Structure 1
């Protein structure tokens, strides 16, 4: 049942978010190309307006992107719970498998590793999509620069790069739309710092539990498994701490990172 549910949720993660996001008041988009075109037109209009508030077209795209990320985050979170439950069952079955059942243990161990890796990938999806939901405007920006901008959009991006560079180097006046971009870009990285910090706290708890049980367990399969998960939790904790530090640093001074992004360095 858990395997079937995991497969169904994996398919839903790919297919369902676009439909769910389109159910909002602003409607949706047939494909990524249509979304890029709508975003490009709305973004050019927003920059030309010189106002802080989003234009109606851009607000519609941002609202759609928010709903899209919320749907993906929720589905990925449910999938993560299912995969964790399935992994626990598999590893328990692996530990219960008797001495002569070598083939069965190998199958259970392989399945356990595969499910564990899938669970970690689902965790990354949860983190990324909650970040996207927290700052949907910034998470849309890669759609503007990817694939090569042309026409008015290319001119707009050139103007943004120029004004942002002037603001950082000479302390020039920052247009209101650019202030919004910088603020939302900072929020985007603050969100990931908070999310990663929460995940780091979970990994600390898991690591403590694993190593305590490792210390209290004699030699054998259980001890080796606890040691393996203890090492994995420490490695993952270190990786998440790097993410926290990197995003906190960027959030504290988002301007240079945003300029690097628009120049293709992020």
Structure 2
């Protein structure tokens, strides 16, 4: 049942977010190319308007992208719960498989490793989509700069880069639209820093619990000690990776303008 539910959730993660996001008043987009074209056209209008508030076209794209990330985050979170439950069942079955053949134990261990790796990947997916939902405008920015840019969009991006560089080097006042971009870019990294900090605390707590259980397990139960030790090492290593993510995003959030300029110049 858990395997079937996991497969269904993976399919839903790929298919459902676009449909769910399109349920808003502004509708949706045919595909990513359609979304990118709408974003680029709306961004040019927004920048040329000189206003701080989003233009109607850009607001529609940002709202759609917010709903899209919320849908993906919810589906991925449910998938993570299912994978965690499935992983617990598989590893418990492996620990009780002393009377089974070597092939059966190997199959259980392989399935447990696969589910564990999928859970780690799904956790990263949840984090990324929460980040995108908190700051959807900043999450859309890569669609502006990646790929071919010409015409009005190229001119607009040149203006963005120039005004960013001027505000950093000469202390010039950034236009309202650029202030919004810098603010949302900071929020984007704050969101990841907070989410990653929570994950780091959870992983460190898991590692402590696992190593305590490892210490209490007798040396005769080698299979249990190997499983507990492996997960203790994995959670400790993952916590270090996540702490690096926390530090990197906190640093960027504290001074977002240089990182935003590096992004528009192709260095991010």
Q: Mark yes or no: TM-score above 0.5.
A: yes
Deviation (angstroms), 1:99: 4.1
Counterpart mapping for 1:79-228 below 5 A: 79-219=79-219, 220-228=222-230
Q: Secondary structure at the match of 1:173?
A: coil
**Matched residues in 1 for 2:4 and 2:227: separation?**
26
**Matched residues in 2 for 1:100 and 1:126: separation?**
37
**Matched residues in 1 for 2:114 and 2:229: separation?**
18
Deviation (angstroms), 1:190: 0.2
Q: Is 1:55 the equivalent of 2:68?
A: no
**Matched residues in 1 for 2:148 and 2:252: separation?**
25
Which segments of 5 or more consecutive residues in structure 1 lack a partner in the other structure? Answer: none
Task: Give the match for residue 245 of structure 2.
Answer: 243
Task: Give the match for residue 259 of structure 1.
Answer: 261
Task: Give the match for residue 74 of structure 1.
Answer: 74
**Matched residues in 1 for 2:215 and 2:85: separation?**
25
Where do 4+ consecutive residues of structure 1 move more than 4 Å?
Answer: none
**Matched residues in 2 for 1:212 and 1:111: separation?**
25
**Matched residues in 2 for 1:76 and 1:52: separation?**
33
- 1:90-136 Cα offsets, whole Å, 9 max, x none, are 00000000245211100000000000000000000000000000000
Deviation (angstroms), 1:144: 0.8
**Matched residues in 1 for 2:109 and 2:26: separation?**
47
- The total of aligned residue pairs comes to 266
Deviation (angstroms), 1:204: 1.2
**Matched residues in 1 for 2:23 and 2:141: separation?**
23
Deviation (angstroms), 1:150: 1.3
Deviation (angstroms), 1:176: 0.4
CA RMSD of aligned residues (A): 0.6
Which segments of 5 or more consecutive residues in structure 2 lack a partner in the other structure? Answer: none
Deviation (angstroms), 1:214: 0.4
Task: Give the match for residue 19 of structure 1.
Answer: 19
Task: Give the match for residue 65 of structure 1.
Answer: 65
**Matched residues in 2 for 1:31 and 1:170: separation?**
41
